[in-house]
């Protein structure tokens, strides 16, 4: 189990670095574009580049946020359960969530294949859309792995084997 958690953590760290680089890229492109606009020389495609990078930032942040329990959770009813009941409830919730995001990952990958086959590109820069779709799909896959790993940890807490 420890080696599995280590692998998932490494995947999260790769996405964290990619998302961080995209965030820095967004700031640089935006600042340079604003400066150049002052000289009436805006950067062609700056809006597209920033939107691509924002997509990467959001997708890459989701697995890390899940691992750190940064998402909003409502536990009005669950906190009245026993610790074992809470662990079971969390495990079932994580199993359903992990399955959902696994399905989203798979369908996004298939959508990326379709976009690649049709040759869809962005409006201004003619950047292939499928590349971003594949990256977001991988991020959802890692998110699914994080959630399912948490599910296994909760099952161990609940005493199930």
Reported pTM: 0.86
Query: If you average pLDDT over residues 136-145, what whole number do you get?
Result: 97
- Candidates 152, 143, 145, 158; CA nearest to 16 is 143
Query: If you average pLDDT over residues 83-110, what whole number do you get?
Result: 91
Tell me: pLDDT of 137 over 80.
Answer: yes
How many domains in the chain?
1
Per-residue pLDDT at 57: 97
By the 10 Å C-beta count (0-12 exposed, 13-18 middle, 19+ buried), 17 is classed as exposed
pLDDT digits (tens, 9 = 90+) for 30-79: 999 999 999 999 999 999 999 999 999 999 999 999 999 887 777 778 88
Per-residue pLDDT at 152: 87
Query: If you average pLDDT over residues 84-91, what whole number do you get?
Result: 84
Confidence label for 161 from pLDDT (cuts 50, 70 and 90): very low
Per-residue pLDDT at 76: 78
Domain range for residue 111? 2-158
């Amino acid at each position: 189990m420890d080696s599995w958690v280590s692998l998932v953590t490494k995947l999260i760290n790769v996405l964290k670095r990619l998302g961080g680089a995209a965030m820095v890229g967004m700031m640089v492109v935006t600042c340079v574009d604003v400066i150049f606009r002052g000289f009436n020389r805006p950067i062609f495609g700056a809006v597209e580049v920033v939107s691509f990078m924002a997509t990467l930032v959001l997708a890459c942040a989701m697995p890390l946020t899940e691992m750190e329990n940064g998402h909003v959770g409502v536990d009005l009813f669950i906190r009245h359960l026993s610790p074992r009941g809470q662990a079971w409830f969390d495990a079932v919730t994580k199993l359903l969530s992990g399955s959902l995001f696994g399905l989203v990952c798979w369908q996004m990958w298939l959508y990326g294949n379709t976009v690649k086959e049709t040759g869809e590109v962005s409006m201004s820069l003619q950047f292939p859309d499928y590349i971003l779709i594949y990256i977001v799909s991988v991020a959802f896959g890692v998110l699914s792995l994080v959630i399912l790993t948490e599910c296994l940890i909760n099952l161990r807490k609940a005493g199930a084997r």
